[in-house]
Chains A and B, each alone.
Chain A
Amino acid sequence: FFFNDTATTEIYTRSLVGSVRCVQETGYQRRVHGIQIFHRKRMESLPSGKERKGEFNPYMDNGGTVVAIAGKNFCVLAGDTRCSQGYTLLSRNTSKITQLTKGAAIASSGMRADIAKFHKTLLMRVKEYEFKFHKEPSLDALAHLVSKQLYSHRFFPFYSFNLVAGLDSKGVGAVYGYDAIGSFDKLVYGATGSGSQLVVPVLDNQLCGHNKIQEQQCESPVIAKKLMLDIMNSCAERDIYTGDKVELLTIGKDGSEIDYQPLRADQQPHTTLLDTQQ
């Protein structure tokens, strides 16, 4: 069934999938004294989404935060490199950012497997575009392509919450934010992932004052990068799913560069057996 609702897909993907309680009547029919009787043997009710035990849940949240800021002639994307499952750390060194063309990149948080597949699919589509049109897709074309790819999985969405950032055809930075099924909007800055709610208020404050009506684009990549680092560090302090390292991708008119900075690693310094042996 379809919802005409302004709530985001994130809400209904997470809580509605599997949350409908199904009731199944098992029984048999018999004719008793000429009257058809339906004997109810048992009523089984399938457990609701949260209670499903032993049932396969196709989605998993691997945590992490990604942030993107668009400047006057550059853009910066930052993503932490931690991959987790519940309270377990799966990896301290995974990348959430993929560069799609010389002037655009995508950063996603959500389920690691879906992100990897989605980014690979996009790289393929970009290559097909280049073969057909003998040039790289513009940021706007890429933004629409991402939306189309997400919508093509409308009924089994990619658990991937994306930010596409790059330089548009005039050389001005832009960020596009998406939900899981492809609805998107052009932004000046965006954040998604487990720590996004900690990050967005800070960006609102730093980049456009106390209200969202006046949006200004950042002038200098140095300031934007410093802001990003501060934000990610603060996020790592309070969000358990964010940490280890932050991967910073700066896209400017001369090209792009990647930088890694350490974040709170949540590990105890201790000596291992190997250390003592030396």
Chain B
Amino acid sequence: YQRRVHGIVISKMWRNLYDQSCSTWSPQGRIFQIDYAMEAVKQGSISIGLRSDTHSLIVGLKRSPHEMAGYQEKVFKVDDHVGLAMSGLIVDGRLIVKILRNECLTYKTLYNSAHPIGRMITKLASKSQKKTMGERKRPFGVGMLIAGYDELGPHLYQTSPNAEYYEYYAFSIGAKSQPAKTYLEKNFKSFPTASLDNMILHGLKALKASEGEIELTFKNVSIGIVGKDQPFRLLTEEELKKNLLLLHQQQPSAEPMEVKPQLIHSNAHLINTFDAVSYPHLTLPPS
């Protein structure tokens, strides 16, 4: 319905009155521009992060606009001990990567040591907050999962346009991130003592849980690892292929597979983490 308030016609959507800029509060105490920026993160392709007591890793699903085009890189190295995956407006993300890289380099030159991750996140949060407090500024339209290793151990932080940040054992952001979150929630208690190979498989399984329909290949999956004695790096093509093969062997597709007794070799214990109950559309082959 429409009402005349002070001669102005207002539609039922009260939101439109209060969402014109970052400097306008709504009567419910929200700043809609920031909320809209959070929506932009949900439009981005999925990023998953998880950590154990020794390693921290991030998995990103790369998008390609067209089959003739390449894939948009999602996982970026910030320094030898930090890397991040971003979801949302990638161009804003690239600016943040540039800022963080500069911060880390300056810190290294000044103090001859690696930038503590927590401090870097608070610096980023301060910068993000400044963008939410101005007439003509807009928040960053990108959420990040930052994986790093410093003297306190491995870390996984999530940052978002509203300048809030949290540390997680495992998390996922972006489009269709809920199934991945469900998978991680079910399994994160086993992460602290998991080996790096198992963690990579967990990450891929979480990705598969969310984006099961898309064929996961080394071209559209990006995995970054960092940890004790492991400077941040992306997995190579061979490593991705190997891990994706392991993933496909353990998670059968819709067609029933022939039973292979030699299917289970070194990763036998991982079969137990595959919970058939949460994924009724996938069935285990008869053992």
Contacts and interface: CB of A to CB of B under 8 A. Distances in A.
Interface of A: 120-121, 123-124, 127-128, 131
11 contacts: A120-B109, A121-B109, A123-B109, A124-B105, A124-B108, A124-B109, A127-B105, A128-B101, A128-B105, A131-B77, A131-B101
Interface in B89-148: 101, 105, 108-109
Chain B contact patch, size range? under 10
Nearest to A125: B105
Contacts of A121: 109
A129 to B, nearest CB: 12
A120 B108 CA distance: 9
A124 B108 CA distance: 9
Contacts, number: 11
Contacts of A127: 105
Contacts of A131: 77, 101
A3 to B, nearest CB: 34
Query: Interface on chain A toward B: helix, strand, loop, or mixed SS?
Result: helix
Nearest to B112: A120
Interface of B: 77, 101, 105, 108-109
B272 to A, nearest CB: 40
Contacts of A124: 105, 108-109
Nearest to B80: A127
A124 B106 CA distance: 8
A120 B110 CA distance: 9
Contacts of B105: 124, 127-128
Contacts of B77: 131
Nearest to A120: B109
A171 to B, nearest CB: 24
A218 to B, nearest CB: 35
Q: Which 9 A-B pairs give the minimum distances between C-beta atoms?
A: A124-B105, A120-B109, A124-B109, A131-B101, A127-B105, A128-B105, A131-B77, A121-B109, A124-B108
A124 B109 CA distance: 7
Contacts of B108: 124
A128 B108 CA distance: 13
A118 to B, nearest CB: 12
Nearest to B77: A131
Nearest to A134: B77
Given A120-B109, A128-B105, 9 more contacts: A121-B109, A123-B109, A124-B105, A124-B108, A124-B109, A127-B105, A128-B101, A131-B77, A131-B101
